[in-house]
Every structure is written in C-alpha cells, then in structure tokens.
Amino acid sequence: MSPYLAEFVGTLVLILFGNGVVASTLLKHSKGEQGGWIVIVITWGLSVAFAVYAVGGYSGAHINPAVTIALAVNGSFPWNDVAGYILAQVLGAFVGATLVWVHYLPHWKETESHELKLAAFSTGPAIRSVVPNFISEFIGTMMLILGLLFIGANKFAEGLNPLVVGALITTIGFSLGGTTGFAINPARDLGPRLAHFILPIAGKGSSDWSYSWIPVLGPISGGVAGALLYQVLVS
C-alpha cells in the first residue's frame, strides 16, 4: 500500500468510526441516542488507535494534517510529501463522512435539529467566541503533538503504541474537548464539513463556514508550536 493510499484509508477509518459514534448518539431513533460525551470521547480515542493499527506500517498513520506539518517542521518528515499526505487525509475524511451519512440514512430525516446533523459531521463551539475557540484548538493540538513526540521517544511492548496514542486522544477529549469538540485535526473537520455541504442530507441547515477556519488554522498553528516546544525541551 502506498503511503498516500494509507493516509486516505486511515483517515477514512478514523472518520467512519469517530463521526459514526457522534451520529449514533445524536440522531433520532438511533439505538445509541443520548449515549453522551463519555461514549463519544472514548470511541474517538479507540478510532484513532484502530486507524493507526490499520496503516501505521505503511505511512506512519499521521491521519491529520497538523501532525504531518508538525513532523515536517520537526525535521522528521519530508516537506515534499506534505501536500500529498494532506490531500489524502482530507479526501479520506470526506469519504468516511459520506459513509456515515449512508449508514444512518433514515435517521437524518427523523432528526429535526440542523445543529445535531452538522455535529455528526464537523465540530462547533460550546460557546461561540473566536479567540477562545482558536486558543482551545491551539492548546489541544499543541498537547497532541507534544504527546505524540514524547510517546515516540519511549519504547513500548510491540503493538502497544497505537493504544497509547488512542489514550492520549481520549485524555485530550475529556480534559480539553468541552469547549470546541476537540477537532485537533483539520482534515477531521474540513472533509466532513465539505461532505455536509455537498450531500443531499434531509433537512440539513448551514454548514457553518464562518467557523470552519478555526478547526483548520487552530490545529495547524498549535501543532507547529508543539513541535517547536518539543525541540526546545529536549535540546
């Protein structure tokens, strides 16, 4: 499997499971309806772990443009491959979100709330305020990159790394995710938001493009900060 295909598949798996659990807990008449935040955060962590297991051996399983850019800044990933990885990640996220739409097809019509439908695709703030929302995504992603780099500096039993990474995601979600839904991944938000905009979802409302730049630029800048901070700490 080529690294670009691996990033496409890995991000698709991430979004299919991650957005799938959000749809399950929010959409009307789903058996998982009202499962709550704990179910969502734990499943996102497991989704990352399984995505890493799936493609880590082929591409390193970045499955996140913020990770790809941070590793390039860190000098551990070639800049020439950055654009291809990001394109594959966004496309994988788009297809994963489309599969979630297909899987829950009857439930979109039964769900009246435009906000809940959008939440099954992309993130949104608990309290809309540009600067705090941006800072939340910045800090969350900075801690993600720091965590990944520190995890990479340790040796674990063979095959355990993806579970540790999944635990990191879960910790970020529980601790820092209550403000914006912890996108911490531009592809995770942008690809599904594009799917929401394009797909003929029953009774959908706005795709909230006015907010969409925050879960893209916040994670990218936070990821770069995390990579630079790691270099300072270990130098």
Q: What is the mean pLDDT of the chain?
A: 96
Task: Measure the CA angle with vertex 214, ends 212 and 216; round to 5°.
Answer: 80
Give me the numbers of helices (H) and strands (E) for the chain, helices first please. Answer: 10, 0
Q: What is the CA radius of gyration of the chain?
A: 17
> Around 162, how many Cα atoms within 13 Å sit in the side-chain half-sphere?
21
Give the model confidence (pLDDT) of 33-47 as tens digits: 999 999 999 999 999
pLDDT tens across 77-123, in order?
A: 999 999 999 999 999 999 999 999 999 999 999 999 999 999 999 99
Check pLDDT > 90 for residue 133: yes
What's residue 19's pLDDT?
98
pTM: 0.96
User: Structural domain tally of the chain?
Assistant: 1
- pLDDT score, position 157: 59
Residue 4 has pLDDT above 70, yes or no: yes
The domain in which residue 226 lies consists of 3-234
Q: Which residue type does 125 have?
A: P
User: Residue 160: its pLDDT value, please?
Assistant: 85
CATH of the domain at 191: 1.20.1080.10
